[in-house]
Chain A
Amino acid sequence: MILFLAYSAVLLSFASGGVAIAHLQFPNVQKKLVFWLLGASGLMAIFAGLGELIYPEIRLDTLNLGLPWLPWHVHFDSLSAFFFLIIGIAVFAVSLYAPHYTHHEQKDAQGFAVLSLFTGLFVAGMMLVLLADDAFMFMIAWELMSVASYFLVAFQHENPANRRAAFLYLLMAEVGALLIILAFGVVASFADGFTFDALRASTIPTTWMSIAFVLALMGFGMKAGLVPIHVWLPEAHPVAPSHISALMSGVMLKVALYGLIRFCFDLLPEVHWQWGVVLLIVGTVSALSGILYAMMQQNLKRLLAYSSVENIGIIVMVLGLSMIFLANHQNELAALALLAALFHAFNHALFKNLLFLGAGMIHHQTHELNIDMLGGLIKRMPKTSMIFLIGCMSISSLPLFNGFVSEWLAFQTALQVDVLDNAVLRSLIPVSAAALALTAALAAACFVKVFGLIFLGVPRSRHAEKAKEIQDKGMLAAPAMLAFLCFFFGIFPSSILHLIDNVTEQLLGSTQPTKDVLSFLSIAPVSPEQASYTAPLILIGALVAAGVSFWLLTRNSETTMRIAPTWDCGFGGLTPRMQYTSSAFTMPLRRIFAPAFLIDEKVEKTMRDDTKLNVGEVRYTLHIQDHSWVRVYQPIERGVNRVAKQVGRIQTGNIRTYLGYSLATLILLLWVVSL
């Protein structure tokens, strides 16, 4: 039954894509049907995921698809179900949001058909990746996901920059896929067959196992956006339509994490603590550099893409912790770390989806994504601003919201290092926990900038001044639902943590240390004496304290507020340009963390006369670049070009030379055969 729900989710999203290109007589009905089917697919995925998580059981099936002697093996366990749930929520939200968001595209029937077809294929591909139980099906589904999303990134291909971003994305996705195939190949060469069962049963030497791990880390890491192989993310995400970036950032990166978890924790017969250290370091670097770059961005969607790099870094870091504990036979703590990682993945899917949809709403109403051109939207778009504020609070991991709970769990896990024997690990893990604290604090600064500059203050452009609230109910309902979930899981985290416990139970054979004590109200992951967090009581306390102070202070009717113009120090003429901008706000951090960026800062002054005293015009340009472009990619690009040039030498364009090559090859082959 549950497997049937999962299949119907896949089929419905295929159907949504299929309906989009079919020639139906009623175009309006057809357009509605596309989104209805997508929404139904999302709902089915939610039901399938929840059903499996509540009644955990490994469900297997074989489909006679593909090549005749290679049937597709399908399995559906708690880990797949958990990620199915994430996909379901995101797809459902997008299906509510997209009908109004894409109404410009809907006028162009062909463009709309392309967009919807590939959205359907993309969603179906992601779901199939989760269902795969053999390497073949996994790779086919993976490629379906990658290629479909390439067409979505390239959707607005009129702009050359978009084509470039899409090509970069395709290139990195394919290199990543190649590495994943190699990783599967290494394991499969020690196993009989490509099914996951055969891979699990393989006896593989440690060296080869480590090689497979590194290949998988690079392959999945390329998709997930780990530093330094993250560069496609900030290029591709801003280019795609917002609801697609929401799916890519909120869900597709999670599917890559699913692949990493499946490969390392399930398929490889054992884990080593050294791998955990690698994940810990890569995760920490990704988290820190992701948020530092995010802070420097002016384009809202680019900023959000970099922030995804940060969050993926946090998740990978916690996965590394889990691996270290698992290799040291601390299964309960490993389960706790995995719980924290999975919960953070879930939370990130919720709030990143919400923020991307919010960015789409802002763009839809103002045609502007540059933070420095916005401002004052809180009065013009009150509902949007409230929803976006909740997203910002969740991602800044403030108490009472879901982001805080997963970071709290991560800290609790990191503080359990005393059980480890290795002193290097015991000092490394707290340092990475402090790096996590720095990341969280910088994320708060970053999203103060985002919310403050976009929604608060005075409008910085005409577009922002003329902005109006969104009227379409679906477009508001989708992010509002996500905002509610962010708040709900911040107050009652145990409702979902119970379900994730089933995942760790199936994967590692153990759950977090104190499952029994986990009550509905509070969470106490290790033991109630060590740490507990009771969000509902805090919420009640906060409401009481705020209510009482508000009531006491506003009783006196003589002290009602007086509205007055802003004080301009007596000079007059406050203009919106006097407000802090994005680059001004982040200037102190840019200076402090200067070595982390490649900064190109120029101030050009033009003088009015020759005395050099009378300044006419000042031009300030600031260009900040990612280190990895210059340090990693440009050398690779130059190397490839150089090799290509060397290879090009043998092509003289002269027919006699080519005949000579043929002759030489023939002789060589004859010699080989005669051996």
Chain B
Amino acid sequence: MSWLIAILQTALFVALAPLLAGFMKFCKCRLQNRRAPSLLQPYRDLLKLTRKQPVISEDASWLFCATPYIVFTAMILAASVVPFIAVDLPTSAEADVIVLVGFFAFARFFLALAGLDIGTAFGGMGSSREMTISSLAEPAMLMAVFTITMTASTTNLSGAIEHVLNEGVVLRPSFVFALFALLLVAVAETGRIPVDNPTTHLELTMIHEAMILEYSGRHLALIEWASQLKFMLYGVLISNIFFPWGIAENFGLSALSYGLLVISGKLILLCVFLGIAETAVAKMRLFRVQEYLGFAYLLGLLGMLSHIILESTR
């Protein structure tokens, strides 16, 4: 039973990711006084791409064609680990938050290799930048995650969320620092303003888009879907770890539907917040990203230290 719910939850997660991306676009459009495309537009785009014939460069190897499937699979696995509408699912016992970071690393490794596969300057540029930014973002993310896992004394995501739930509403300074650190990392890792701009195709600014420039058809669909999934993963991770209230703790129908309603509300709030932030902030130069991520790391470190100094029981 619990396995069935875990699989259904993962499927729902994967199915809803494009909707969240559509809503994000909607928020930004409204904030910038533009008319927004329909919320279902991402689904239409994906469907259109899967019907098109993919064009592959003659210099491409098997790795280029395999990468979209690998990236998409890694994101599905990550989605199965993160508690979405219910906690205490068997899938989150299989892999903890460090493995989750590992899944992201796996997807990125292959995406960066695919960028180098064709042998054009754009691909190499994207790969180089992506690996640079992610190698700075990963320690910041783990620092924030360690703060939470040390408080909950478990690296299991379900366990950490249950710990926060059982504790009731406590204002922990370490969690505040960790929340902001994780937000900054999420923005960098999902390739959004001010680190990267998903809507640009200008060589000076492209990061993620430069890597996947050669993709078309169903391959592009998979990669787009995977990056929508990654965006939603970070959103769900942040909302459910720091504000877990409302998540279903048993598998009754009412609890599950309430959980779905609550997580939708949290994600909507997060999207509005991100939309405002993206509208207000301009994209920064590539060589200022290290300062941005250094700041995220510093926040994570402060969170860790305040946990050790202020909150530890010893």
Closest to B125 in A: A580
Taking CB atoms, residues of chain B closer than 8 Å to A579 are 116, 119-121, 124
**Is A580's CB under 8 angstroms from B124's CB?**
yes
B65 within 8 A of A: yes
A5 within 8 A of B: no
A163 within 8 A of B: no
What separation, in Å, do the CA atoms of A584 and B52 have in the docked complex?
35
**Is A456's CB under 8 angstroms from B309's CB?**
no
Q: Given the interface contacts A399-B106, A404-B102, A529-B154, does A452 sit within 8 Å of B113 by beta carbon? A: yes
Most buried by A among B120, B221, B312: B120
A603 within 8 A of B: no
Interface residues of B in 23-67 (CB under 8 A from A): 50-59, 61-63, 65
What separation, in Å, do the CA atoms of A592 and B137 have in the docked complex?
13
**Is A560's CB under 8 angstroms from B53's CB?**
yes
Taking CB atoms, residues of chain B closer than 8 Å to A417 are 150
What separation, in Å, do the CA atoms of A379 and B60 have in the docked complex?
9
* CB 8 Å contact bits of A426-462 with B (1 = contact, 0 = none): 1100110111011011101100110111001110000
Q: Given the interface contacts A550-B69, A566-B119, A586-B128, does A430 sit within 8 Å of B146 by beta carbon? A: yes
**Is A456's CB under 8 angstroms from B94's CB?**
no
A639 within 8 A of B: no
**Is A448's CB under 8 angstroms from B77's CB?**
no
A553 within 8 A of B: yes
Interface of B is mostly: helix
A522 within 8 A of B: yes
What separation, in Å, do the CA atoms of A442 and B65 have in the docked complex?
26
* CB 8 Å contact bits of B270-314 with A (1 = contact, 0 = none): 000000000000000011001000000100110011001100101
B242 within 8 A of A: no
Q: Nearest-CB distance from B88 to chain A (Å)?
A: 11
* CB 8 Å contact bits of B118-155 with A (1 = contact, 0 = none): 11110111011101101111110011001001100111
What separation, in Å, do the CA atoms of A164 and B129 have in the docked complex?
38
Q: Specify which of B58, B128, B150 is in contact with A566 (CB 8 Å cutoff).
A: B58
**Is A456's CB under 8 angstroms from B120's CB?**
no
What separation, in Å, do the CA atoms of A593 and B220 have in the docked complex?
34
Q: Nearest-CB distance from A3 to chain B (Å)?
A: 41
Q: Nearest-CB distance from A571 to chain B (Å)?
A: 12
Q: Given the interface contacts A440-B138, A441-B139, A579-B124, does A418 sit within 8 Å of B56 by beta carbon? A: no
B105 within 8 A of A: yes
A156 within 8 A of B: no
Q: Specify which of A421, A457, A584 is in contact with B117 (CB 8 Å cutoff).
A: A457
Q: Nearest-CB distance from B297 to chain A (Å)?
A: 7
Q: Specify which of A376, A542, A585 is in contact with B124 (CB 8 Å cutoff).
A: A585
**Is A418's CB under 8 angstroms from B153's CB?**
yes
A70 within 8 A of B: no
Interface residues of A in 588-635 (CB under 8 A from B): 588-589, 591-592
* CB 8 Å contact bits of A396-425 with B (1 = contact, 0 = none): 111110001000100110010110010100
What separation, in Å, do the CA atoms of A376 and B69 have in the docked complex?
22
Closest to B124 in A: A580
**Is A559's CB under 8 angstroms from B131's CB?**
no
**Is A444's CB under 8 angstroms from B109's CB?**
yes
Interface residues of B in 84-122 (CB under 8 A from A): 93-96, 98-99, 102-103, 105-106, 108-109, 112-113, 115-121
**Is A528's CB under 8 angstroms from B128's CB?**
no
Q: Specify which of A522, A530, A565 is in contact with B159 (CB 8 Å cutoff).
A: A530
* CB 8 Å contact bits of A505-527 with B (1 = contact, 0 = none): 00000000000000000100000
**Is A423's CB under 8 angstroms from B153's CB?**
no
Q: Specify which of B76, B156, B290 is in contact with A530 (CB 8 Å cutoff).
A: B156
**Is A393's CB under 8 angstroms from B146's CB?**
no
**Is A566's CB under 8 angstroms from B120's CB?**
yes
A574 within 8 A of B: yes
What separation, in Å, do the CA atoms of A608 and B232 have in the docked complex?
56
Taking CB atoms, residues of chain A closer than 8 Å to B56 are 561-564
**Is A566's CB under 8 angstroms from B127's CB?**
no
A531 within 8 A of B: yes
Q: Nearest-CB distance from A424 to chain B (Å)?
A: 10
A15 within 8 A of B: no
B223 within 8 A of A: no
Taking CB atoms, residues of chain B closer than 8 Å to A671 are none
Taking CB atoms, residues of chain A closer than 8 Å to B300 are 434
**Interface range on chain A (Cβ under 8 Å from partner):** 35 or more
**Is A584's CB under 8 angstroms from B142's CB?**
no
What separation, in Å, do the CA atoms of A442 and B58 have in the docked complex?
31
Q: Nearest-CB distance from B28 to chain A (Å)?
A: 28
Taking CB atoms, residues of chain A closer than 8 Å to B217 are 559, 561
What separation, in Å, do the CA atoms of A411 and B251 have in the docked complex?
32
Taking CB atoms, residues of chain A closer than 8 Å to B52 are 559
Q: Given the interface contacts A556-B51, A559-B54, A561-B56, does A576 sit within 8 Å of B119 by beta carbon? A: yes
B20 within 8 A of A: no
Q: Nearest-CB distance from B186 to chain A (Å)?
A: 16
Number of chain B residues close to chain A: CB under 8 A: 84
Interface of A is mostly: helix
**Is A423's CB under 8 angstroms from B102's CB?**
no
Q: Nearest-CB distance from A587 to chain B (Å)?
A: 7
Q: Nearest-CB distance from A329 to chain B (Å)?
A: 15
Q: Given the interface contacts A530-B156, A532-B156, A584-B128, does A441 sit within 8 Å of B134 by beta carbon? A: yes
**Is B77's CB under 8 angstroms from A445's CB?**
no
Q: Nearest-CB distance from B128 to chain A (Å)?
A: 5
Binds B, one of A131-139, A225-233, A533-541: A533-541
What separation, in Å, do the CA atoms of A562 and B58 have in the docked complex?
9
What separation, in Å, do the CA atoms of A415 and B160 have in the docked complex?
14
B193 within 8 A of A: no
Q: Given the interface contacts A559-B218, A578-B121, A591-B287, does A448 sit within 8 Å of B113 by beta carbon? A: yes
**Is A558's CB under 8 angstroms from B53's CB?**
yes
**Is A564's CB under 8 angstroms from B55's CB?**
yes
Q: Given the interface contacts A438-B138, A441-B138, does A589 sit within 8 Å of B80 by beta carbon? A: no
A26 within 8 A of B: no
Closest to B159 in A: A529
Most buried by B among A456, A558, A579: A456
What separation, in Å, do the CA atoms of A310 and B289 have in the docked complex?
25
Q: Specify which of A396, A399, A442, A553 is in contact with B103 (CB 8 Å cutoff).
A: A399
What separation, in Å, do the CA atoms of A375 and B123 have in the docked complex?
14
* CB 8 Å contact bits of A541-561 with B (1 = contact, 0 = none): 110011001100110101111
Q: Nearest-CB distance from B18 to chain A (Å)?
A: 15
B72 within 8 A of A: yes
Taking CB atoms, residues of chain A closer than 8 Å to B135 are 438, 441-442, 444-445, 589
What separation, in Å, do the CA atoms of A621 and B93 have in the docked complex?
52
Taking CB atoms, residues of chain B closer than 8 Å to A421 are 314
What separation, in Å, do the CA atoms of A532 and B56 have in the docked complex?
41
**Is A538's CB under 8 angstroms from B308's CB?**
no
**Is B136's CB under 8 angstroms from A592's CB?**
yes
Q: Given the interface contacts A457-B59, A559-B217, does A538 sit within 8 Å of B132 by beta carbon? A: no
Q: Specify which of A532, A567, A578 is in contact with B96 (CB 8 Å cutoff).
A: A532
**Is B116's CB under 8 angstroms from A457's CB?**
yes
What separation, in Å, do the CA atoms of A219 and B105 have in the docked complex?
37
Interface residues of A in 365-417 (CB under 8 A from B): 375-376, 378-379, 393, 396-400, 404, 408, 411-412, 415, 417
What separation, in Å, do the CA atoms of A549 and B131 have in the docked complex?
27
Closest 5 CB pairs between A and B? Answer: A580-B124, A452-B116, A457-B119, A441-B135, A445-B131
Apart from A545-B73, A588-B286, list 4 A-B contacts with CB within 8 A.
Answer: A456-B113, A542-B74, A578-B121, A580-B128
Q: What are 14 residue pairs bridging A and B, where the CB atoms are less than 8 Å apart in the complex? A: A400-B106, A434-B139, A434-B142, A441-B105, A448-B112, A530-B154, A533-B99, A541-B80, A561-B65, A564-B56, A565-B57, A587-B128, A588-B286, A588-B287
**B residues lining the A interface (CB < 8 Å):** 50-59, 61-63, 65, 69-70, 72-74, 76-77, 80, 93-96, 98-99, 102-103, 105-106, 108-109, 112-113, 115-121, 123-125, 127-129, 131-132, 134-139, 142-143, 146, 149-150, 153-156, 159, 214, 217-218, 221-222, 286-287, 290, 297, 300-301, 304-305, 308-309, 312, 314
